[in-house]
């Protein structure tokens, strides 16, 4: 394709990424112009020469040819720090589909005018013993927050203010009160004028085990020999992965390199952050959602200026513009939050690998339950695999019981708790130990199953469950198949055929009924709407202010409660019945992690999994904590159905205020894909096209949603398809724009 036009953003100010202007590329510069290059262009009526960045290339003029000016020259600065950010945005746009402006906004931080940030520290003014005594006193007076700070200070004399505020959930008023009482001091210093040196010592170093050492050494050896790779550490929680990350980062810093550490926000606990602060001091910074735009911008400026060595944060931390990036770490690699839900719908894993390759950096991922993607790539040699099968310390794997809920019903038990679970909860209440009850609520979307035999109503063509619609139909959201909702079970004739809905609130009520003396805490989307309450509920449970914690998947992540010896999973198969090819994987991950919550402190743990499908492989392998077994079975299914990671899949979602328009555009786009398939199949390309169909949620805010899917072994083929569809849309938009299109590559869920 002859690219004769360039989109240039003049004076890229991060304040608001402006609209690009189109320029002609002079013949003699055709080799030198590509996204990211700084150029000089004539601008405005006076044709004053200005600097700008090339952000996109095209072979089509968006305006009458004679109105388009020529680029004057490549700027003497040519490639700058912004250039590589623009290149990343360009890659995101191409790889995942979005406009260039949206991609740029994803990558570039929003600039705000701000005062120099002040960095605060909290320092203990008394010795550890005196503080512990004061903490005891506070506890007697039920001043839990005060006690929490004082205890933390007995372990660590100096703590970053932000850590105490955010992770220990302490208010400024509490800190002021403690300061007045003479227990601590809050110090303020301007980060820039007076960077604090990290005081070594105090921290007790672990001596890495042989398996840990082997990983650290191999990663560094590859890096030093100019062959940085992508590594996957498969290790249960507690096997020592974080120590490995710390070991590699330390060496990277010694070489003058920087590290990006991705940790899902929900797993970013006080303990984990503290380990990073202790090891790397003030040259660590954390990005999370409670930072303001200004604070975020500030962190990024510090990173670009070489004032930081390590940045920790969720997905977006990936775009930190370090001058000498050496490593990207992705902890809990399987987490769904690594995939962006807005355009461009990028996955942090793939994006990290790309960014690392731009910098000659390496990528290290870790998980107890790796995603099918990562493990498949490790098995097929794209990533290097390390296995760390054992836990450090004394804790052992819990005993797991599977309870068949069909049997419970047969025995006349209509409670949400099986008899086994009921007995074990009772035991815990007597013993003064804690219980976590986990409700797998992801499959909420109205699947229909038989409570007598467990039969689930499924599409005959797609191996996914049908969704119940208000109009009395059962619908497949993959292929559009429909059937009439019947009253009795086609397998056993029972009249107990029903849509399954049970919320955490009902569970809480049932607990109050069946265990009136138990103190219950509930955590779900409703109770944690306020940002702080999430940490508050967890802190209260950790302080043993409740016997039972009921919650959704939020409660299974990352947190260690040593007094929890029983975990109950109330309806393990709810997530199996999503209309979704990842349902088995997600169920396995959730169950394995939920089970891992039991018995983390020296006491042995027990886990009860309640299910209607006790023979389902996701449940059986999770109960046995058998990742390999699960992987083998799941990959066979993905291979058979040509689902990711074996092939690639692109979802195309069309939304429109007019149902007929959405349907028509969707149909036309599918036509285009089929035409391309015809052309390519001469070369032996194999496409699968699924749809068009109405999306599972067919209307949101009066926007109608239509969807289709394209599968192909080769990701680049899907990009070609996307480019054709984008062109089609641009031509349509020249008329009236009454629809929007979203692309989702290797989607985390179906639409």
**Binding footprint of ligand ADP on the chain (CB under 6 A):** 206-209, 212, 235, 237-243, 392-393
Q: Does 461 bind Zn ion (CB under 5 A)?
A: yes
Residue among 240 and 747 whose Cβ is closer to ligand ADP: 240
Q: Choose, by CB under 5 A, the member of 492, 498, 700, 727 that binds Zn ion.
A: 492
Q: Do residues 519 and 408 touch, judged by C-beta distance below 8 A?
A: no
Residue among 584 and 596 whose Cβ is closer to Zn ion: 584
Residues 348-358 as b/e (b if ≥16 CB within 10 A, e otherwise) read bbbbbbbbbee
| Residue 521 CB, nearest approach to ligand ADP (Å) | 25
Q: Does 478 bind Zn ion (CB under 5 A)?
A: yes
Residue among 242 and 465 whose Cβ is closer to ligand ADP: 242
Specify the stretch interacting with Zn ion by CB under 5 A; choose among 131-139, 205-213, 486-494, 503-511.
486-494
Using CB atoms within 10 Å of the CB of residue 510, give its burial: 0 to 12 exposed, 13 to 18 middle, 19+ buried. middle
Residue among 172 and 393 whose Cβ is closer to ligand ADP: 393
Residue among 207 and 484 whose Cβ is closer to ligand ADP: 207
Residue among 494 and 740 whose Cβ is closer to Zn ion: 494
78: left (phi over 0), alpha (psi -120 to 50) or beta: left
Residue among 325 and 695 whose Cβ is closer to Zn ion: 695
Q: Of ligand ADP, Zn ion, none, which one sits near residue 462, judging by CB under 5 to 8 A according to partner kind? A: Zn ion
Residue among 163 and 725 whose Cβ is closer to ligand ADP: 163
Residue among 195 and 238 whose Cβ is closer to ligand ADP: 238
| Residue 124 CB, nearest approach to ligand ADP (Å) | 23
Pairwise CA distance, residues 159 & 701, whole Å: 46
Q: Of ligand ADP, Zn ion, none, which one sits near residue 491, judging by CB under 5 to 8 A according to partner kind? A: Zn ion
For 354-409, list the strands marked E by DSSP. Answer: 362-367, 384-388, 399-404
Q: Of ligand ADP, Zn ion, none, which one sits near residue 208, judging by CB under 5 to 8 A according to partner kind? A: ligand ADP
Q: Of Zn ion, ligand ADP, none, which one sits near residue 235, judging by CB under 5 to 8 A according to partner kind? A: ligand ADP
Nearest to 261 by CA among 251, 274, 246: 246
| Residue 603 CB, nearest approach to ligand ADP (Å) | 17
* Cβ partners under 8 Å of residue 632, min gap 6: none
Residue among 16 and 213 whose Cβ is closer to ligand ADP: 213
Specify the stretch interacting with Zn ion by CB under 5 A; choose among 293-301, 455-463, 552-560, 590-598.
455-463
Q: Of Zn ion, ligand ADP, none, which one sits near residue 241, judging by CB under 5 to 8 A according to partner kind? A: ligand ADP
Q: What angle do CA 311, 316, 318 make, to 5 degrees?
A: 55
Residue among 82 and 251 whose Cβ is closer to ligand ADP: 251
Q: Of ligand ADP, Zn ion, none, which one sits near residue 489, judging by CB under 5 to 8 A according to partner kind? A: Zn ion
| Residue 391 CB, nearest approach to ligand ADP (Å) | 8
| Residue 641 CB, nearest approach to Zn ion (Å) | 12
| Residue 271 CB, nearest approach to ligand ADP (Å) | 8
Long-range contacts of 505-512 (CB under 8 A, 24+ apart): 506/416, 507/416, 507/437, 507/439, 507/550, 507/570, 508/550, 510/415, 510/416, 510/417, 511/437, 511/548, 511/550
Q: Does 77 bind Zn ion (CB under 5 A)?
A: no
Specify the stretch interacting with Zn ion by CB under 5 A; choose among 184-192, 267-275, 443-451, 559-567.
443-451
Q: Of ligand ADP, Zn ion, none, which one sits near residue 173, judging by CB under 5 to 8 A according to partner kind? A: none
Q: Of Zn ion, ligand ADP, none, which one sits near residue 393, judging by CB under 5 to 8 A according to partner kind? A: ligand ADP
Pairwise CA distance, residues 450 & 561, whole Å: 36
Residue among 209 and 294 whose Cβ is closer to ligand ADP: 209
Residue among 447 and 588 whose Cβ is closer to Zn ion: 447
Beta strands 606-611 and 399-404 are: parallel
Q: Of ligand ADP, Zn ion, none, which one sits near residue 195, judging by CB under 5 to 8 A according to partner kind? A: none
Residues 235-255 as b/e (b if ≥16 CB within 10 A, e otherwise) read bbbbbbbbbbbbbbbebbbee
Pairwise CA distance, residues 440 & 590, whole Å: 8
Q: How far apart are the first and last CA of the chain?
A: 34
Give the residues across from 196 on adjacent strands. none
Long-range contacts of 514-519 (CB under 8 A, 24+ apart): 514/415, 514/417, 514/422, 515/425, 515/426, 515/429, 515/548, 517/429, 518/425, 518/429, 518/547, 518/548, 519/545, 519/546, 519/547, 519/548
Q: Does 539 bind Zn ion (CB under 5 A)?
A: no
642: left (phi over 0), alpha (psi -120 to 50) or beta: left
Q: Choose, by CB under 5 A, the member of 119, 347, 455, 638 that binds Zn ion.
A: 455
Here the tokens at position 722 are 């996307």
Q: Of ligand ADP, Zn ion, none, which one sits near residue 206, judging by CB under 5 to 8 A according to partner kind? A: ligand ADP
Q: Of ligand ADP, Zn ion, none, which one sits near residue 492, judging by CB under 5 to 8 A according to partner kind? A: Zn ion
For the chain, state the CA radius of gyration: 28
Count, residues near Zn ion per rule CB under 5 A: 15
Residue among 234 and 582 whose Cβ is closer to ligand ADP: 234
Q: Of ligand ADP, Zn ion, none, which one sits near residue 242, judging by CB under 5 to 8 A according to partner kind? A: ligand ADP
Q: Choose, by CB under 5 A, the member of 33, 220, 476, 537 that binds Zn ion.
A: 476
Q: Does 473 bind Zn ion (CB under 5 A)?
A: no
| Residue 240 CB, nearest approach to ligand ADP (Å) | 3
Q: Of Zn ion, ligand ADP, none, which one sits near residue 81, judging by CB under 5 to 8 A according to partner kind? A: none
Residue among 253 and 452 whose Cβ is closer to Zn ion: 452
| Residue 47 CB, nearest approach to ligand ADP (Å) | 59
Specify the stretch interacting with Zn ion by CB under 5 A; choose among 134-142, 372-380, 477-485, 687-695.
477-485
Pairwise CA distance, residues 466 & 577, whole Å: 9
Pairwise CA distance, residues 230 & 214, whole Å: 15
Here the tokens at position 712 are 């192909």
Q: What single DSSP character describes residue 738?
A: -
Q: What angle do CA 578, 579, 583 make, to 5 degrees?
A: 50
Q: Does 450 bind Zn ion (CB under 5 A)?
A: yes
| Residue 210 CB, nearest approach to ligand ADP (Å) | 9
Dmax (CA) for the chain in angstroms is 87
Long-range contacts of 445-449 (CB under 8 A, 24+ apart): 445/578, 445/579, 445/696, 445/697, 446/499, 446/501, 447/499, 447/500, 447/577, 447/578, 447/579, 448/474, 448/485, 448/497, 448/498, 448/499, 448/500, 449/497, 449/498, 449/500, 449/577, 449/612
Q: Does 623 bind Zn ion (CB under 5 A)?
A: no
| Residue 727 CB, nearest approach to ligand ADP (Å) | 47
Pairwise CA distance, residues 535 & 537, whole Å: 6
Pairwise CA distance, residues 161 & 196, whole Å: 14
The residues of the shown chain that bind Zn ion, judged by CB under 5 A, are 450, 452-453, 455, 459, 461-462, 476, 478-479, 481, 489, 491-492, 494
């Amino acid at each position: 394709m002859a690219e004769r036009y360039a989109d240039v953003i003049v004076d890229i100010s991060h304040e608001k990424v402006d609209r690009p202007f189109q320029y002609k590329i002079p013949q003699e510069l055709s080799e030198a112009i590509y996204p990211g290059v700084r150029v000089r262009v004539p601008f405005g009526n006076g044709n004053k020469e200005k600097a700008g960045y090339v952000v996109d290339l095209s072979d089509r003029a968006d305006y009458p040819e004679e109105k388009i000016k020529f680029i004057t020259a490549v700027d003497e600065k040519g490639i700058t720090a912004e250039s590589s950010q623009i290149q990343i945005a360009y890659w995101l746009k191409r790889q995942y589909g979005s406009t260039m402006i949206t991609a740029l906004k994803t990558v570039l931080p929003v600039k705000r005018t701000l005062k120099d940030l002040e960095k605060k520290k909290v320092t203990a003014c008394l010795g550890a013993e005196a503080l512990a005594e004061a903490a005891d006193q506070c506890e007697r007076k039920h001043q839990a927050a005060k006690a929490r700070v004082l205890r933390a200070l007995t372990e660590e004399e100096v703590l970053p203010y932000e850590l105490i505020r955010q992770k220990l959930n302490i208010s400024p008023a509490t800190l002021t009160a403690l300061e007045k009482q003479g227990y601590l001091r809050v110090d303020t210093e301007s980060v820039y004028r007076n960077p604090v040196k990290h005081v070594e010592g105090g921290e007790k170093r672990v001596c890495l085990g042989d398996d840990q050492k082997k990983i650290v050494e191999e990663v560094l050896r590859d890096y030093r020999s100019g062959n940085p790779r992508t590594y996957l550490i498969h290790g249960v929680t507690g096997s020592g992965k974080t120590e490995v990350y710390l070991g590699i980062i330390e060496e990277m810093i010694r070489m003058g390199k920087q590290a990006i550490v991705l940790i899902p926000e929900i797993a970013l606990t006080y303990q984990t952050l503290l380990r990073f602060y202790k090891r790397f001091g003030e040259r660590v910074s954390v990005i999370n959602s409670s930072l303001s735009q200004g604070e975020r911008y500030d962190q990024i400026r510090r990173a670009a200026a070489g004032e930081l060595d390590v940045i920790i944060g969720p997905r977006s931390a990936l775009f930190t513009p370090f001058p000498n990036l050496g490593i990207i770490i992705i902890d809990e690699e399987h987490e769904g939050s690594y995939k962006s839900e807005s355009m461009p719908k990028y996955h942090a894993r793939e994006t990290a690998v790309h960014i690392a390759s731009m910098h000659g950096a390496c990528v290290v991922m870790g998980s107890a339950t790796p995603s099918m993607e990562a493990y498949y790539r490790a098995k097929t040699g794209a990533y290097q695999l390390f296995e760390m099968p054992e836990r450090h310390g004394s804790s052992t794997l819990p005993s797991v019981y599977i309870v068949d809920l069909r049997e419970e019903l047969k025995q006349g038990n209509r409670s949400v708790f099986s008899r086994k679970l009921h007995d074990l909860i009772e035991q815990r209440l007597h013993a003064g130990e804690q219980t976590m009850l986990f409700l797998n609520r992801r499959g909420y979307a109205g699947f229909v199953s038989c409570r007598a035999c467990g039969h689930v109503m499924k599409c005959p063509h797609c191996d996914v469950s049908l969704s119940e619609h208000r109009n009395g139909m059962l619908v497949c959201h993959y292929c559009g198949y429909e059937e009439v909702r019947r009253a009795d079970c086609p397998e056993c004739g029972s009249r107990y055929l029903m849509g399954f809905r049970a919320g955490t609130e009902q569970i809480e009520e049932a607990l109050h009924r069946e265990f009136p003396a138990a103190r219950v805490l509930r955590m779900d989307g409703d109770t944690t709407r306020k940002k702080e309450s999430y940490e508050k509920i967890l802190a209260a449970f950790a302080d043993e202010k409740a016997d039972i914690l009921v919650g959704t998947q939020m409660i299974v992540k990352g947190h260690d409660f040593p007094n929890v010896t029983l975990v109950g999973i109330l309806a393990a198969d709810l997530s199996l019945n999503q209309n979704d090819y990842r349902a088995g994987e997600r169920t396995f991950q959730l169950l394995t992690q939920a089970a891992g919550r039991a018995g983390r402190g020296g006491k042995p743990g027990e886990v009860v999994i309640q299910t209607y499908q006790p023979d389902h492989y996701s449940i059986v392998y999770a109960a046995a904590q058998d990742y390999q077994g699960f992987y083998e079975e799941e990959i066979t299914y993905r291979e058979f159905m040509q689902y990711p990671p074996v092939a690639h899949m692109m979802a195309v979602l069309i939304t429109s205020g007019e149902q007929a328009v959405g349907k028509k555009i969707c149909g036309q786009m599918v036509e285009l894909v089929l035409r391309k398939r015809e052309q390519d199949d001469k070369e032996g390309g194999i496409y699968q096209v699924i749809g068009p169909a109405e999306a599972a949620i067919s209307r949101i805010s009066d926007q109608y949603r239509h969807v289709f899917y394209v599968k192909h072994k080769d990701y680049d083929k899907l990009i070609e398809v996307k480019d054709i569809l984008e062109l089609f849309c641009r031509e349509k938009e020249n008329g009236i724009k009454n629809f929007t299109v979203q692309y989702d590559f290797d989607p985390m869920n179906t639409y």
